[in-house]
Structure 1
Amino acid sequence: MDIKIIGIENIPLITEGNDIAALIVDAMNNEDIDIKNGDIFVIAETIVSKAEGNKINLKIIEPTQKAFDIAKKTGKDPHVVEAILRESNEILEVGPDFIISETKHGFVCANAGIDESNVEDNMATPMPEDPDKSASLIMKKIEALTEKEVVVIVSDTQGRAFREGAIGTAIGISGMKALWDRKGEKDLYGRELQTTSIAVADELASAASILMGQADEGIPVVVIRGVNYVKTLKSSISTAKDLVRPKKYDVFRKT
């Protein structure tokens, strides 16, 4: 089985109101890349937030006392801390240069997913308000423009507990299930799998992240082609929230 990972270049700097789906299709046409049935589009959450006008002007934020207190512990700018507080349901851990929180979406990650890179000075981009809805809208528009059946994943770069380094993570999905439940299948020795569940959407987001990079690569959209289980997992009701472990089962989280 061959899997292709294709970085889409020539996507312009995104501003509020831009039609991401149309820009993707135009860029692929200009690069003579045909869109095929089953293509998986992994899109950086930063450009989705920009297109939706979801940006934070750090200059005009007034930090609360709580923000100042946390800023002293972390060394972060109080304005950034206040933005993190506003995007969080709960602050879980605070340490030197990091704040771990549960975002308004329910994701547990550093700094509530707020990104200060690849955006103008004194600005920051939080996660899209509803990444699953964003993914769905982009998917439907690409399908309308191309008459092809595709998948869209909105990705973010996040760290992981007990592991160094950050990886691409799915925060919004449309057109496939986030998890691949392999319970009941057989291993090489004929034993039946009892609990194996694969975070397929996260694996795809991580694969795309290799090409996207984190600096000036300028590749916010990646197409993954040849993943043969996507069509069988096609579902309009699956969301990225399926990847979030319920708090009552999170044995590493303080209750």
Structure 2
Amino acid sequence: MSPDPDSGVVTVFAPTGIGEITAGTDLVDVVLRAATADPLGPLRSGDVVVVTSKVISKADGLVRLADQRDEAITEQTAATVARRGPTRIVRTRSGLTVAAAGVDNSNVAPGTVLVLPPDPDASAAALHAELTRRSGLDLGVVVSDTAGRAWREGQTDHAIGAAGLRVLERYAGRQDAYGNDLQVTAMAVADEIAGAADLAKAKLAGRPVAVVRGLGHLVEPTGRPDGRAADLIRPLALDLFRLGAREAVLAAVLGATGQADRYEELVALDEADRVRAVVEGAGVGADAAAVLTAVLEQA
């Protein structure tokens, strides 16, 4: 039986005893053993298992040499959202908007970096299938990663992959305690689960897996609506912040001057070279060139 969603009690624990994960490690065996050995273990039906993307990447052998970091970021990038010098905020090929395409050098061997799983939802689904098969339990799985927020300092974990879990709790059509009709409210529960799990895992404790207990009403069979982390990604047509302020100006100028296909090429240049390249590519007269220069430099 699923726990009562109105009980107000959620338990989070991060098992110890998970050693270094390497290519080919049986993550399911590692998770089951660690959870069973924990005082709050073993796993129960309705639990949500949260696994950091790093252990997925390590088990899948997604390791690169540190001097290949820039190349790896470029390979993982579908579009540049914002760039300031070497710092890049990009949309990855899987649709995530993250710094450096999620290529990371923390909690990895010196001289190496990790890239994100190419399809985090597929990684979550594979882990979920084996965990439920071997345990015989109804479980949810979240693959988490760390990200910043556009309007706030600091970072928090969010869900980049999910399986066996409703990732959005939609309230549209319901009424609040005052009788007001709710129209657009939807809680990103998978992200909240990832953030809660991160509090238990901590960054330096060597606990890359956490179990969130008490949210069994969100655990559902795979294939149900709102059952993938990709369902949390806002469609580009509805994304009001798909580009940084400077990059939005650049894209607009390039579109107006017939150079839209040069965006990725030019956004990588420093400001002086970028302005010069845009103006030269526009092929306009001196007055128009001065206007374009002013617009780009003031962005």
TM over 0.5: yes
Provide the rounded CA distance (Å) in 2 between the counterparts of 1:99 and 1:20: 31
Once the two structures are superposed, the pairs formed by residues 100-179 of structure 1 within 5 Å of their partners are 100-179=89-168
Which of the two has greater helix per residue? 2
Number of equivalent positions: 234
Q: Percent of pairs identical after alignment?
A: 33
Matched residue, 2:179: 190
2:19 aligned with 1:12, yes or no? yes
Matched residue, 1:84: 73
Matched residue, 1:41: 49
Secondary structure (helix, strand or coil) at the match of 1:224 reads strand
Matched residue, 2:223: 236
Which consecutive segments of 4 or more residues in structure 1 shift more than 6 A?
Answer: none
**How far is the alpha carbon of 1:40 from its aligned partner?**
0.2
**How far is the alpha carbon of 1:92 from its aligned partner?**
1.5
Q: Quick check: 2:45–2:216 contact (8 Å CA) kept in 1?
A: no
**How far is the alpha carbon of 1:139 from its aligned partner?**
1.2
**How far is the alpha carbon of 1:81 from its aligned partner?**
2.5
Provide the rounded CA distance (Å) in 1 between the counterparts of 2:161 and 2:21: 19
Q: Of 183, 192, 195, which aligns to 1:206?
A: 195
C-alpha distance 193-235 of structure 1, shift in aligned 2 (>3 A): farther
C-alpha distance 130-161 of structure 1, shift in aligned 2 (>3 A): same
Q: Of 181, 189, 213, which aligns to 1:225?
A: 213
Provide the rounded CA distance (Å) in 1 between the counterparts of 2:48 and 2:127: 12
Secondary structure (helix, strand or coil) at the match of 1:165 reads strand
For the aligned residue pairs, the C-alpha RMSD in angstroms reads 1.5
Q: Of 48, 52, 66, which aligns to 1:58?
A: 66
Secondary structure (helix, strand or coil) at the match of 2:117 reads coil
Provide the rounded CA distance (Å) in 1 between the counterparts of 2:218 and 2:167: 10
Instruction: Name the aligned partner's letter for residue 82 of structure 2.
Output: E
Provide the rounded CA distance (Å) in 1 between the counterparts of 2:60 and 2:222: 25
Q: Quick check: 1:56–1:123 contact (8 Å CA) kept in 2?
A: yes
Matched residue, 2:4: none
Unaligned runs of 5+ in 2: 1-6, 244-250, 252-299
**How far is the alpha carbon of 1:25 from its aligned partner?**
0.6
List per-residue Cα deviations over 1:145-191 (Å, max 9, x = no partner). Answer: 21111000000000011111100110000001221111111111011
Secondary structure (helix, strand or coil) at the match of 1:8 reads coil
List per-residue Cα deviations over 1:92-131 (Å, max 9, x = no partner). Answer: 2112563100011111111101111011111111111211
**How far is the alpha carbon of 1:82 from its aligned partner?**
2.5
Matched residue, 2:274: none
Whichever of the two has the greater Rg, that structure is: 2
**How far is the alpha carbon of 1:253 from its aligned partner?**
2.2
Secondary structure (helix, strand or coil) at the match of 2:12 reads strand
Provide the rounded CA distance (Å) in 2 between the counterparts of 1:163 and 1:192: 30
Instruction: Name the aligned partner's letter for residue 135 of structure 2.
Output: T
2:21 aligned with 1:21, yes or no? no
Provide the rounded CA distance (Å) in 1 between the counterparts of 2:194 and 2:45: 19
Q: Quick check: 1:177–1:201 contact (8 Å CA) kept in 2?
A: yes
Instruction: Name the aligned partner's letter for residue 112 of structure 1.
Output: A
**How far is the alpha carbon of 1:234 from its aligned partner?**
4.4
Q: Quick check: 2:143–2:161 contact (8 Å CA) kept in 1?
A: yes
TM-score (norm: length of structure 2): 0.75
Higher relative contact order (CA 8 A, sep 6+): 1
Provide the rounded CA distance (Å) in 2 between the counterparts of 1:235 and 1:184: 24
Q: Quick check: 1:176–1:236 contact (8 Å CA) kept in 2?
A: no
Instruction: Name the aligned partner's letter for residue 45 of structure 2.
Output: N
